[in-house]
């Protein structure tokens, strides 16, 4: 057998791996993948929000001003930005599974480190190192999950998986409220961070039970391993193992070139999704990070009541994600992106109007405007993970998703500091909502002009 014939046979087997995966319906196998990835994502959001929930208590305990607290917050997001890029590069070499396990273990270990912090610098350092893992976990999980699910159900499955993110947010709010109400201030935030160390155990389980993406494996020449995993998927779904005939998009076996996301073919996609990431998460993290503290300083609520209020808002987000999961593969990604930006802009606009009328005081108007804004950007937040990983081929899907998510983290570095400095300079809460309004308008304009639809297509068809 000549080398050319052998290569042709490997290519044909790789194409069959993709074709067989596209015919496998969602089954218990996918449930296991979603369960493991979702548990990691649960603790990702738990650890991310924990600092916001107990920020006022930490500031009092460690004697941090608004500007100092903003820098502690941003240290974690700076780590996430770096982690997304570094692990994104590594994930195309080591695989999605290994990077997920490494990231999850790191964020758990550094949650324990945050629990024993003694000043702003030590806490900021722990949050920075933890951010390296936090920045990689969710985007690599989204890329991995997308590569397991056929095109007709990809949006539904990923939206259901993303339910674990607000679940972690809700858990952080409720557990934080309980700890704030029952423990001394110097202990409550330390216990909350210690709970966030549990992902270390999840990482051990994932190393044992989480499969690698067959799409990644065939690219690395590990075709037999990929075929075994696909056969397991078929057995779980009750689909007979058989050759798939007909026109099927070929597997992506090309070599990874990290600069390809800036090539003529992918440049517009890259700039589009980077704008979506930045505008969505600048607003999301700017509001999420500071809203509990604003409920206390502007609304007059206690820290525990502010935490419970944020948790109540999260319950509405659960219902929203369920609706999105049922419709995103039918109505499409662009429909939901435009709706998300529209709702968020309505919230920012209401806040500006109330501020101009002198009525933006007390927790009720702040809650109405802030909740509307947050619901809008929380529509876009899970969508941008799904959307980004659909726009790149397998050879750079994880890298492209993580590179995009790094702009989420860049925005998250800038937003808490910007809001903190604006509040410390007494520019007023109206100026903060005005900044969010302009940011959201940019995102809406880019999606309207350059966004493309990706619903119900195989990943190989969308590769460009």
Q: How confident is the prediction along the chain (464 residues), in pLDDT tens digits per residue? A: 455 565 667 788 888 888 889 889 999 999 999 999 999 999 988 988 788 788 888 888 888 776 777 788 778 878 888 888 888 888 888 899 999 999 999 999 999 999 998 888 899 899 999 999 988 888 899 999 999 999 889 999 999 999 998 888 888 888 988 998 899 988 899 999 999 999 999 999 999 999 999 999 998 889 999 999 999 999 999 988 777 776 667 777 778 888 899 999 999 999 999 999 999 999 988 887 777 777 777 667 777 677 677 767 777 888 889 999 999 999 999 999 999 999 999 999 988 888 888 777 777 778 788 889 988 998 999 999 999 999 999 999 999 999 998 898 788 778 877 887 787 776 777 888 899 999 999 999 999 999 999 998 888 888 76
Neighbours of 267 (CB within 10 A): 12
Alpha helices by DSSP H, listed for 183-266, are: 185-195, 199-209, 214-219, 223-237
Here the tokens at position 198 are: 């549990």
* Lookup: tokens for 327: 């419709």
How many domains, in total, are found in the chain?
A: 1
Alpha helices in 332-428 (DSSP H): 333-356, 363-390, 397-424
Is residue 173 one of the residues assigned to a domain?
yes
What is the model's pLDDT at position 2?
A: 57
Q: Is residue 40 part of a domain?
A: yes
Residue 441: HSE in the Cβ half-sphere, 13 Å Cα cutoff: 8
Residue 242 lies in a domain: no
Residue 249 lies in a domain: no
Burial of 287 (0-12, 13-18, 19+ CB in 10 A): buried
Residue ranges making up the domain that contains 45: 3-237+257-462
pLDDT score recorded for residue 258: 83
Distance separating alpha carbons of residues 219 and 14, to the nearest angstrom:
8
The rounded distance, in Å, linking the Cα atoms of 416 and 74 is 6
Residues 34, 145: contact at Cβ < 8 Å? yes
**CATH number of the domain enclosing 117:** 1.20.1250.20
247 assigned to some structural domain: no
Question: Does residue 245 belong to any structural domain of this protein?
Answer: no
Does any domain span residue 243?
A: no
- Alpha-carbon torsion angle 268, 271, 274, 278, nearest 10: -130
Structure tokens at 304: 């525990």
Does residue 246 lie within any of the structural domains?
Answer: no
Identify whether the C-beta of residue 107 lies closer than 8 Å to the C-beta of residue 57: no
Q: According to DSSP H, which parts of 120-184 are helical? A: 120-146, 154-161, 164-182
């Amino acid at each position: 057998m000549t080398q050319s014939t052998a290569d042709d046979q490997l290519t044909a087997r790789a194409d069959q791996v993709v074709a067989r995966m596209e015919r496998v319906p969602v089954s218990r196998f996918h449930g296991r993948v979603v369960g493991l990835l979702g548990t990691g994502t649960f603790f990702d959001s738990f650890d991310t929000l924990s600092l916001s929930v107990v920020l006022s208590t930490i500031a009092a305990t460690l004697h941090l001003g608004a500007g100092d607290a903003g820098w502690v917050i941003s240290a974690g997001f700076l780590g996430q930005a770096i982690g997304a890029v570094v692990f994104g590069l590594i994930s195309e070499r080591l695989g999605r599974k290994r990077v997920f396990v490494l990231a999850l273990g790191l964020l758990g270990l550094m949650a324990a480190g945050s629990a024993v912090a003694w000043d702003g610098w030590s806490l900021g350092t722990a949050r920075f190192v933890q951010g390296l893992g936090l920045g990689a976990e969710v985007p690599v999980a989204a890329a991995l999950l997308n590569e397991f699910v056929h095109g007709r159900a990809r949006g539904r499955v990923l939206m259901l998986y993303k339910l674990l993110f607000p679940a972690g947010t809700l858990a952080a709010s409720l557990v934080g409220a309980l700890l704030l109400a029952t423990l001394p201030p110097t202990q409550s935030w330390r216990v909350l961070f210690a709970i966030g160390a549990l992902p270390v155990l999840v990482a051990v389980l994932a190393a044992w039970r989480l499969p690698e993406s067959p799409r990644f494996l065939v690219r690395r020449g590990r075709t037999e391993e990929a075929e075994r995993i696909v056969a397991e998927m078929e057995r779980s779904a009750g689909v007979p193992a058989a050759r798939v005939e007909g026109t099927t998009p070929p597997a992506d076996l090309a070599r990874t070139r990290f600069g390809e996301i800036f090539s003529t073919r992918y440049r517009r996609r890259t700039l589009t999704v980077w704008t979506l990431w930045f505008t969505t998460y600048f607003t999301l993290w700017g509001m999420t990070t500071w809203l509990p503290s604003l409920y206390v300083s502007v609304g007059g609520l206690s820290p525990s009541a502010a935490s419970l209020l944020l948790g109540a808002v999260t319950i509405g987000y659960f219902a929203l994600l369920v609706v999105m999961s049922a419709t995103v593969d039918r109505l499409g990604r662009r429909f939901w992106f435009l709706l998300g930006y529209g709702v968020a802009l309505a919230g920012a606009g209401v806040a500006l109007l109330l501020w101009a009328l002198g009525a933006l005081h007390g927790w009720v108007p702040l809650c109405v405007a802030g909740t509307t804004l947050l619901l809008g950007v929380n529509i876009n937040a899970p969508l941008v993970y799904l959307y980004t990983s659909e726009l790149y081929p397998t050879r750079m899907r994880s890298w492209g998703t993580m590179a995009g998510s790094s702009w989420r983290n860049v925005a998250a570095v800038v937003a808490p500091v910007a809001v903190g400095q604006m509040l410390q300079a007494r520019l007023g809460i109206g100026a903060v909502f005005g900044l969010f309004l302009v940011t959201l308008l940019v995102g809406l304009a880019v999606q309207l002009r350059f966004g493309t639809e990706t619903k119900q297509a195989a990943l190989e068809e969308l590769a460009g």
